[in-house]
Chains A and B, each alone.
Chain A
């Protein structure tokens, strides 16, 4: 009636502040992105070098270096999040409190401008986050997976070459190791029946350690088929699990009985997850 709510409201300083703030935010993220790309690209050759020369069966030197690099990338993520909180989100709250209520015409105009500012800044941050995840992925995938199949085949050959080279520590009679063992075990001398203790090589022990991962590598295509089905197809999951356990059992036949019990549990959980 009195035109209070249509009264001209003008706040050029706020508009200017939003403009420069948005520009600063974009420039800040541009710089962080440039830095994380430089870091990633420069780090990869060294990361690969450490991986290749790391004799540790668990590749701990490589893992530490990778963790350090991911730590720096995460530090950049943290930095961007903190600045977004302080300089964008808090600012939006202050600006909204400053301008006329949204139900008035001028208020609506200013609120729209603030919302546009907010959306532009958050979208830019979203893109930054995506790029950051890509960099992390590049670092994680720089070395590829360990070739577990080759390592396994090498151990099979190594075992074949040593299996008949042992003798009884009691009578000296020749002992052929009947099958590949992955942990210490007792073997009986065929001549004097004494209980000898056989300790497998470090490489053979690692086969046990890596068996599930190798079985998963061998059946990765089935897992992928399951994961790509929409909605996730429980039948495909079953096919994958069965094949993975079969491969696992082939690698470590001694653990087949235990693996089957584990498989039963996975199946019980599967029906629970799909039908709950």
Chain B
């Protein structure tokens, strides 16, 4: 009787542990990623984006990278508007 109960408890715990370890989490696993560097050239004329010309439009052909007005954020500031 007592043995049966102990078995039941350990079976429950084993199952709970297995379930915790193997079940899929909403949003999926988080795969650790390394830091990386990237760049976006103008898709229209191929020119790079120069710092002093701002982030929002291509200084050469006028291509609009972002159709918004940058405000003062964390690292991006008003001055970064083209």
Contact = CB atoms under 8 A, between A and B. Distances in A.
Interface in A183-239: 183, 185-188, 192-204
Contacts, number: 109
Interface string B34-58: 1111111100000011111001000
Nearest to B38: A197
Given A60-B25, A65-B16, A254-B74, A199 B55 contact: no
A111 interface: no
A198 B13 CA distance: 45
Interface in A235-271: 254-255
Given A39-B9, A42-B10, A200 B17 contact: no
Contacts of A193: 50-52
A60 B40 CA distance: 35
Interface of A: 38-39, 42-43, 46, 49-50, 53, 56-58, 60-62, 64-65, 68-69, 162, 166-170, 175, 181, 183, 185-188, 192-204, 254-255
Given A64-B20, A65-B19, 5 more contacts: A56-B25, A61-B20, A185-B75, A186-B55, A198-B36
17 contacts: A50-B21, A56-B25, A61-B25, A64-B23, A68-B16, A166-B37, A169-B37, A169-B38, A170-B48, A175-B37, A185-B76, A186-B75, A186-B80, A187-B37, A195-B39, A199-B33, A201-B34
